[in-house]
Amino acid sequence: MKTSLLLLPLVAVSMLAANPAQAQAPSVGQRLAQSACAQCHSFDKGAPHGVGPNLYGLLGKPAAGGAGFTYSKQYVDAMKGKTWDRSLLDKWLTDTQSVAPGSTMAYFQDDPKKRAALIEYMQSLK
């Protein structure tokens, strides 16, 4: 009896300590975005465009829809009428030039797990 009374608060304290640490750890997708995309793109709501457009809340939006960003003519022509969904984003990240030949963004990611992690992160921004 004495032992279990002593152990209970210890368990409660260690559970409390574990949770905030998990919430703060950036996801794989967020880390990839920071290392591979953030030099050109912002991901925060209302943040200014960089070399590329702000990508906050992209999924569900029309392609080339970033207000105030000047897209290349090749990109605008190739993306006309397209809406960003997971499948289009997966193709874009696999090879931007096969989706929009001549686009000013050149990027290839062969690893489907890394693409999925990036897409997961971008979908969480809304």
C-alpha 53/C-alpha 51 separation (Å) is 7
Tokens 């190739």 correspond to what residue? 78
Q: Which of 29, 75, 99, 117 binds ligand HEC (CB under 6 A)?
A: 75
Choices 3-11, 19-27, 62-70 (CB under 6 A): range interacting with ligand HEC:
62-70
Distance of CA 60 to the CA centre of its chain: 14
Distance, in Å, from the CA atom of 103 to the CA atom of 68, rounded to the nearest integer, reads 18
Minimum Å distance from CB 10 to ligand HEC? 44
Among 104, 111, 112, 124, binds ligand HEC (CB under 6 A): 104
Cβ proximity of 33 and 118 under 8 Å: yes
Positions touching ligand HEC (CB under 6 A) are: 36-37, 39-41, 51-53, 55, 58, 63-66, 71-72, 75, 92-93, 103-105, 107, 118
